[in-house]
Structure 1
Amino acid sequence: MPDQYQVLRDVFGYSEFRGDQEQIVSHVIGGGDAVVLMPTGGGKSLCYQVPALVREGCAVVVSPLIALMADQVGALRQLGVRAAYLNSTQLPEERAEVERAFLAGELDLIYVAPERLSQRGTREFLARGTLSLIAIDEAHCVSQWGHDFRPDYLALGELADIWPDVPRIALTATATRRTHEELTARLHLEGARHFVSSFDRPNITYRIEPKAQANRQLLEFIRTEGVVDGEPATGIVYALSRNSVEKIAEFLRANDVDALPYHAGLDRRVREDTLHRFLREDGIVVVATIAFGMGIDKPDVRFVAHVDLPKSIEGYYQETGRAGRDGLPSVAWMAYGLADVMNQRRLIDQSDGDAARRRVQSQLLDAMLALCETATCRRQQLLGYFDQRIEPCGNCDTCLNPPKTWDGTVPAQKLLSTIFRLDRDFNRSAYGAGHLIDILLGVDNARIQQQGHDRLTTYGIGTELDASGWRSVVRQLVALGIIAPQGDYGVLRLTEKAAPVLRGETTVMLREDTKAPARSRKAARSSAPDLPDADRGLFEALRRWRSSVAKDAGLPAYTVLGNKTLEELARAKPSNHEELLAISGIGQSKLEKYGDQVLEVLVDFESA
């Protein structure tokens, strides 16, 4: 059998491992169990793919991503790896051929979904062959307190008893200490070696701005920053509801953005077509619920946008991590407002589960709100949630355009007094933010007149702020837990934290909302920022060749050759097969498939 270094070079075309990969690979090859926490784009898949090609037998890869299995397997076959999958999308004869190949020892990796692996028949079938290892991808899905729980993952702990001598490796890009501990226990990996890499994605710029007209803000963001080399960039937009997804996609299409909706309520064939186009075409923007994106290997997603507040930092990190897997500059943008906070609080109050469950959900939301409202480095706040400490990054909105803070104690007292007096003097009446702000601004409307709220001592005492400023105050007081929404209509009540504010015992410091700095539409980014101008033309010629090859073969372009490989080709300009093999990302299989074509492109460009 080849060793891990030969496999890395000959199959994957890399000269060396990155970060913890070498230790993880050696540990699993030696038969050890492992728990791997590594950021998206950090190279988790190599941690089980290389051992699978070194150890005797076939690796079982557990993945919840049925829609992506064909592309995952296709990418491996491009490398000459004998890979296959078993899932419900296959015809009986296709499954029979995969089963035959497995039993004949003709496969290196086989992908299965957790629900299939929990079936007795599947386990009995796999027991008839030789397993080299078991890889459990997206292992955070086993956590019942996490953001993406999948019940079928709970049965995977039984694999330790069924195959005690087969090494298991659990991998995820998203895990707090609590999730890490839980997945270790539930998967029976207490004796495993743990590898925790940095969660930092320095190429991603994090930006959160106050929500005013979310659709218009999103469109302006896409028009200014969703452009690379003068062409529309690939991106993902997340919204919470299916209805919002469809409306946003329609709005973007009406404004000349190639946007496609994706959610579980759409016909399966529509979802498959959307995913197919997203993986194979440039400039596609998918508007989706959180069901879209996990495990997608597309490296050149240039932006991820949120028009609704995510439920947790774990979910936010997982979703934003789908941008910039290739290491090139990318943006994570969010529009966030008072309605988001109110909606999330209401969803928690109405959610299934006991009080403990709702308390945990509230804690997750509180951490997300703290990230949105911070006046310090967002990356520090984000990574601090995962117990990682860094210096200010210089590449987030609060670093690039530091917000000011101000003493909001007096405005807070005015708002809290209004709620208190309405509750005391008007028979426990409760009102939403809009009515409270109208009272503070002294608005003379029929509702205020009819209910006598113009007689309140706080009527008209808040003219130092405009309506937008008061919405910011309300939003931040909700985020701080000083007031809380109740019921379906977003009415606001005081919490126990309000009393010391009203008595002047607690100072309330608030963040001044800042507008995003103006950006020129001409300030387009490049997909090859490190290339000198002299080599950029060759890079583009190689990219056009790759696009043609991928289209003819029905493959995602990045599975032919990655952008970093094209950049290195443009710099090095190899002239023969031996020099091609020295290029990162070109192994024996890629050399045999594309070597002569690449050399022809290089010669034609030089002679043009």
Structure 2
Amino acid sequence: MATDVLQQQLSDIESKILSADTEIQRLRSVKQALLKKRDELKVRITQQTQEELARTDWNKNDYPWHEQVRKYAKETFHINDFRPLQVPAINMTLSGKDCILIMPTGGGKSLCYQLPALVSDGITIVISPLISLMEDQVMALKRLNYPAAMLSATTPKEEAQTINSALTDPKAPIKLLYITPERLAKSKRFMAKLEKMYKDGQFARLAIDEVHCCSQWGHDFRPDYKFLSIMKRQFPNVPILGLTATATSHIVADVQSMLGIEGCIVLRAPLDRPNLRYEIHPKPAAQKESIKFVADIIRRRFRDQSGIVYCFSIKETEEVAAGLRECGISACPYHAVMNADDRSSVHRRWAKNKLQVVSATVAFGMGIDKPDVRFVIHHSLSKSLDNYYQESGRAGRDDKLATCILLYRFGDIFRQSSSVFTERSGQENLYAMVSYCIDGKRCRRTILSEHFGEDSDIAVNCGSKCDNCDPDTAVTTKEVDVTDIVKTLYKILDNASAKDERLTPLKLLDAWQGKGSKKLKAEGVKSTSMSRERCEEVLATALLEGYLSEDFHCTPYAYISYIVAGPMAEAVKGGNKVAFTFRTRSKRKLSAAEDNESVKKQKTSSGSKEKGATKASQPSCSDGIVIID
């Protein structure tokens, strides 16, 4: 009897649970419908906001602050004319509108918040990722008698107290304050000061330099930039001006969402730098030979001209600088392990042309504003096209001809991939860089332009400003069925796996060429007769196209990249064909008349000061192989 009562109670509870589950499902459906409606409304609001902002003429000169902007531009910055997009950006931020400004390195982004700060009431806060960059900008502004200051961990205590007091004093002589994102994220006292400034109407605007650092998809993500996501919620009426030289459409959308400024106008200047010539060269395998190769380029083409050589590691910056000095070129390393005084000394000597070359890691980057850099050479592969564009863009800021050279070697792919594979989209970004290097046909400028989402066909206007568009270079192509080659690689990998061996790229190459350990030689596989360089290009393209993949393993000292079959392996084993196009580059044969004219030009060029404009005699490495669509 008692059991029947309990059984009835259990039945009632199960019935109620079923009813609750049904109600939960109904509410979930209601929630999903509401979420969909909310998202649709957000999109419509964003679209309408963008349309309204786009209809506004931000270039017109009848804004109430126009005369003041012109006055300060001339008297403080000694500027008579503005560059494209500077006026719209200035007018937008002075109108209280949020804006993201994408402008090439050296295009004049800083002026777009420095000028408005003088015109506005209150103080403009500038977020900057590097203390050295802030120091350089504040020093430059103070030389112009501009009321700027900075707060960082290195700011003397008394000076920091004076600045903090000035933040809430309407009569204080500060119009622009630079701080790092770390300071903002970790100082509750500073945030309290901003709250007081906002309440008193003294928080004029927030400028975020290198705004791409907000995005986890970006090439230079900084965790402390995530804190900036609260700024729009805390200070809704403070306009945000985000500035960067490099951001794809995907990264821009991510930044807008993270900062809470969806629908803001994005001002994007054309990223092509017509005065820069881009070249890819094969990198000699031996370190001494690669340094000698760099030295030969500098002595032959850039004698007594200023330049930067970017290196993969701190050790390499030291070796390259020492090797260049042995070749009679004044060079010093620059990297993060050096103490601040030594780094400043190198920077200062180079800026004053007392030092020809800085051999540097990417630590020598943001804020480098030397106008007469005639060459930037990448001794090793850059980790992404975003990084490469920004680093190479330190050349030719005076708008005169300059040259950007990258030395490409297959082995450098895996040094980089082992360091970036933990980053979100790190490997994808690196492979885009590799594709750029081995592409022996398409205009380098077009590849960069398309990467950043620009539609214009730069190749039409390139002329000879990249090695692939050089009219003196002949390109021959040959389509080759490489299905058997790819299957051979799979046999070598399967054989190694059966013997509990993992193959690094070097070991795979050796096994394919019949070198190295005998146990890695698969039965029935003949050694390839192709050159080492061609084999490397086959492997690189197979990686890019998914026929091979990298598998990373951690040791106590480093991450190691091993090669395994890629996601396309099943299709190949199932009978799909694989075709690559082999491209060979060579100098076009000149007629007798052309040859005489060429000799004359070379003689004239060798006596010219602008040696950065001369063409390379070294052929590009792009005997590239890319998959045929």
TM tier, smaller: 0.7 to 0.9
Q: Distance in 1 between matches of 2:561 and 2:222?
A: 31
Q: Distance in 1 between matches of 2:218 and 2:257?
A: 14
Aligned to 1:120: 188
Aligned to 2:48: none
Q: Distance in 1 between matches of 2:72 and 2:520?
A: 79
Are the aligned partners of 2:383 and 2:420 in contact in 1 as well (CA < 8 Å)? no
Per the alignment, do residues 55 and 200 of structure 1 end up closer, same or farther by CA in structure 2, a change over 3 Å counting? same
Aligned to 1:111: 178
Aligned to 1:547: none
Match of 2:334 among 257, 262, 277: 262
Letter in 2 for 1:376: R
Are the aligned partners of 2:136 and 2:367 in contact in 1 as well (CA < 8 Å)? no
**Which secondary structure does the structure 2 equivalent of 1:106 belong to?**
coil
Aligned to 2:307: 235
How far is 1:479 from its partner? 3.1
Q: Is the counterpart of residue 175 in structure 1 residue 247 in structure 2?
A: yes
Deviates more, 1:170-179 or 1:366-375: 366-375
Are the aligned partners of 2:118 and 2:175 in contact in 1 as well (CA < 8 Å)? yes
How far is 1:427 from its partner? 2.7
Q: Distance in 2 between matches of 1:133 and 1:435?
A: 56
CA RMSD of aligned residues (A): 3.3
How far is 1:23 from its partner? 1.3
Q: Is the counterpart of residue 458 in structure 1 residue 458 in structure 2?
A: no
Aligned to 2:414: 342
Q: Is the counterpart of residue 386 in structure 1 residue 476 in structure 2?
A: no
Deviates more, 1:195-204 or 1:485-494: 485-494
Q: Is the counterpart of residue 377 in structure 1 residue 443 in structure 2?
A: yes
How far is 1:266 from its partner? 2.5
Per the alignment, do residues 494 and 520 of structure 1 end up closer, same or farther by CA in structure 2, a change over 3 Å counting? farther
Are the aligned partners of 2:208 and 2:240 in contact in 1 as well (CA < 8 Å)? yes
Q: Distance in 1 between matches of 2:512 and 2:496?
A: 16
Letter in 1 for 2:387: G
Are the aligned partners of 2:205 and 2:239 in contact in 1 as well (CA < 8 Å)? yes
How far is 1:435 from its partner? 5.0
Per the alignment, do residues 417 and 196 of structure 1 end up closer, same or farther by CA in structure 2, a change over 3 Å counting? same
**Which secondary structure does the structure 1 equivalent of 2:76 belong to?**
helix
Per the alignment, do residues 266 and 307 of structure 1 end up closer, same or farther by CA in structure 2, a change over 3 Å counting? same
Aligned to 1:63: 128
Match of 2:361 among 289, 311, 324: 289
Per the alignment, do residues 46 and 149 of structure 1 end up closer, same or farther by CA in structure 2, a change over 3 Å counting? same
Letter in 2 for 1:254: E
Q: Could you list the per-position Cα deviations for residues 354-373 of structure 1 after superposition, in whole angstroms to 9, with x for gaps in the alignment? A: xxx4xx22322222222112
Aligned to 1:399: 469
Aligned to 2:535: 470
How far is 1:70 from its partner? 2.5
TM-score, reference length from structure 1 = 0.76
Per the alignment, do residues 85 and 208 of structure 1 end up closer, same or farther by CA in structure 2, a change over 3 Å counting? same
Deviates more, 1:433-442 or 1:304-313: 433-442
Aligned to 2:317: 245
Q: Distance in 2 between matches of 1:425 and 1:185?
A: 47
Are the aligned partners of 1:473 and 1:510 in contact in 2 as well (CA < 8 Å)? no
TM-score, reference length from structure 2 = 0.74
**Which secondary structure does the structure 2 equivalent of 1:404 belong to?**
strand
Q: Could you list the per-position Cα deviations for residues 217-241 of structure 1 after superposition, in whole angstroms to 9, with x for gaps in the alignment? A: 454345434788x752222222232
Q: Could you list the per-position Cα deviations for residues 37-91 of structure 1 after superposition, in whole angstroms to 9, with x for gaps in the alignment? A: 1111211111111111211222222111211322212222233322222222232
User: Map of 1:214-229 to 2, 5 A cutoff?
Assistant: 216-225=289-298
How far is 1:6 from its partner? 1.9
Aligned to 2:609: 526
Aligned to 2:494: 423
Q: Distance in 2 between matches of 1:433 and 1:387?
A: 33
Q: Is the counterpart of residue 327 in structure 1 residue 407 in structure 2?
A: no
Deviates more, 1:493-502 or 1:267-276: 493-502
Q: Could you list the per-position Cα deviations for residues 285-337 of structure 1 after superposition, in whole angstroms to 9, with x for gaps in the alignment? A: 22222222112222222222222222221111121122222211112211112
Q: Distance in 1 between matches of 2:85 and 2:276?
A: 22
Letter in 1 for 2:437: C
How far is 1:25 from its partner? 1.0
Per the alignment, do residues 437 and 169 of structure 1 end up closer, same or farther by CA in structure 2, a change over 3 Å counting? closer
Are the aligned partners of 1:233 and 1:282 in contact in 2 as well (CA < 8 Å)? no
Aligned residues: 514
Aligned to 1:594: none
Q: Could you list the per-position Cα deviations for residues 142-186 of structure 1 after superposition, in whole angstroms to 9, with x for gaps in the alignment? A: 111211111121112322233333322111111111110111122
Per the alignment, do residues 222 and 101 of structure 1 end up closer, same or farther by CA in structure 2, a change over 3 Å counting? farther
How far is 1:137 from its partner? 0.8
How far is 1:262 from its partner? 2.3
Q: Distance in 1 between matches of 2:474 and 2:496?
A: 42
Gaps of 5+ in 1: 531-608
How far is 1:386 from its partner? 0.8
**Which secondary structure does the structure 2 equivalent of 1:15 belong to?**
coil
Aligned to 2:264: 192
User: Map of 1:341-360 to 2, 5 A cutoff?
Assistant: 341-348=413-420, 351=422, 357=424, 360=425
Q: Distance in 2 between matches of 1:179 and 1:425?
A: 41
Aligned to 1:137: 209
Q: Distance in 2 between matches of 1:317 and 1:388?
A: 14
Q: Distance in 2 between matches of 1:252 and 1:275?
A: 17
How far is 1:377 from its partner? 0.7
Greater relative contact order structure (CA < 8 Å, 6+ sep):
1
Q: Distance in 1 between matches of 2:508 and 2:180?
A: 51
Match of 2:103 among 35, 38, 41: 38
Q: Distance in 1 between matches of 2:487 and 2:239?
A: 59
How far is 1:442 from its partner? 5.4
Letter in 2 for 1:122: F
Gaps of 5+ in 2: 1-64, 554-559, 590-597, 614-629
Q: Distance in 2 between matches of 1:32 and 1:149?
A: 25
Q: Distance in 1 between matches of 2:273 and 2:393?
A: 8
